[in-house]
């Protein structure tokens, strides 16, 4: 069965420092991997996705993620965090293009000034 | 980019009443709609998948008679929560898939049942 794990409920970083939000997945075949951000009482905003190709994916707002097949991971990163990055981040996976996404439980990112 | 309009964004209703949530794809045809539910501080859980003109496919544990999904056109899908109860209070989000199999999310609907 397909699944996604986000091992951290919360990540705290200081503004200007690099941030990492972890995600590991389990899916048969080649995964389609996504990161979304959610602000309070709002829908999901797409950040980036990995389908195939280069393992390092660059997305919106300066975020990037690295696909690591051997570790089945897709960690979200940003070199320099902003206070405005504080939000709830979801990693998601699907096993086929356009199928429903399976979401991780989410990680709250808190960036302090 | 493609836009999915979901409304209402917030609704409060009395227990026992029904609530309809609409999800529209504004500039593309949505061949498939996914409906998710999110409890506070929890992940999004897939409720059902609907293809235009077909009956929705519900995930295990989701009552199809309670959560009625209609996908009558390529630009509109609706989720009706029938005889709502406080335990149905949740955040509901739709996701539309276009013909290029890209996914787009609505802004969500916060349902509060008193």
Instruction: For B51-80, write each residue's pLDDT tens digit.
Output: 888 889 999 999 999 999 998 888 999 999
Contacts of B93 in chain A (CB under 8 A): 43-44
Partner A contacted by B47 (CB < 8 A): no
A103 with B101: Cβ contact below 8 A: no
What is chain B's mean pLDDT, rounded? 91
Helix (H, G, I), strand (E, B) or coil at B59: coil
Is A40 an interface residue toward B (CB < 8 Å)?
no
Q: Does A35 touch chain B (CB under 8 A)?
A: no
Residue A68's pLDDT is what?
94
Write out the H or E segment, with its range, that includes residue A24.
strand A24-26
For chain A, the helix, strand and coil percentages under 3-state DSSP, each to the nearest 5: 5, 50, 45
Residue percentage of chain B with pLDDT more than 70: 98
B101 pLDDT higher than 90: no
- In Å, how far is A106's CA from the nearest CA of chain B? 6
Q: Taking CA atoms, what residue in B is nearest to A34? A: B103
Residue A1 has pLDDT above 80, yes or no: no
Sign of the torsion formed by the C-alpha atoms of A97, A51, B43 and A59: negative
A-chain residue closest to B97, CA distance: A98
If you average pLDDT over residues A3-12, what whole number do you get? Answer: 95
Query: Would strands B10-13 and B109-113 be described as parallel, antiparallel, or unpaired?
Result: parallel
Contact B44, A90 (CB under 8 A): yes
SS3 content of chain B, % helix, strand, coil (to 5): 5, 55, 45
B44 touching A (Cβ < 8 Å): yes
| Predicted pLDDT of residue B72 | 81
Q: Inter-chain contact B43–A90, Cβ cutoff 8 Å?
A: yes
pLDDT at residue A97 above 80? no
B79/B35 Cα distance (integer angstroms): 8
Determine whether the interchain pair B102/A43 forms a contact, defined as Cβ–Cβ distance below 8 Å.
no
More confident call, A31 vs B68:
B68
- Nearest Cα residue in chain A from B51: A99
Q: With left for phi above 0 and alpha for psi between -120 and 50, is residue A83 left, alpha or beta?
A: alpha
Average pLDDT over residues A28-34: 87
pLDDT over 80 at B41, yes or no = no
Higher pLDDT, B104 or B20: B20
**Once rounded to an integer, what is the mean pLDDT over residues A69-79?**
96
For A11-20, A77-86, B48-57, B98-107, which range has the lowest pLDDT when averaged over its residues? Answer: B98-107
**Largest Cα span, chain A:** 42
Model confidence at B2: pLDDT above 70:
no
Residues of chain A neighbouring B43 (CB-CB closer than 8 A) = 90, 103-106
Q: In the predicted model, is pLDDT for residue B1 greater than 70?
A: no
Contact yes or no for A98 and B44 at CB 8 A: no
């Amino acid at each position: 069965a397909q699944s996604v794990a986000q091992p951290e409920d919360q990540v705290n970083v200081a503004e200007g420092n690099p941030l990492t939000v972890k995600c590991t997945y389990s899916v048969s075949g080649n995964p389609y991997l996504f990161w979304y951000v959610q602000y309070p009482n709002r829908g999901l905003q797409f950040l980036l996705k990995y389908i195939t190709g280069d393992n390092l994916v660059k997305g919106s707002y300066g975020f990037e993620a690295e696909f690591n097949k051997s570790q089945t991971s897709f960690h979200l990163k940003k070199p320099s965090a902003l206070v405005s990055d504080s939000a709830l981040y979801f990693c998601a996976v699907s096993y086929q293009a356009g199928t429903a996404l399976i979401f991780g439980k989410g990680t709250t990112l808190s960036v302090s000034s | 980019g493609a836009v999915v309009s979901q409304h209402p964004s917030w609704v409060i209703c009395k227990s026992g009443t029904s609530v309809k949530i609409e999800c529209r794809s504004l500039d593309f045809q949505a061949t498939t709609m996914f409906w998710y539910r999110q409890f506070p501080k929890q992940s999004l859980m897939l409720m059902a998948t609907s293809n235009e003109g077909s009956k929705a496919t519900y995930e295990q544990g989701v009552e199809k008679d309670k959560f009625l999904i209609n996908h009558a056109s390529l630009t509109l899908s609706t989720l009706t929560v029938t005889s709502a109860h406080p335990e149905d209070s949740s955040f509901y989000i739709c996701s539309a898939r276009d013909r290029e199999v890209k996914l787009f999310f609505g802004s969500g609907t916060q349902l509060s049942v008193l």
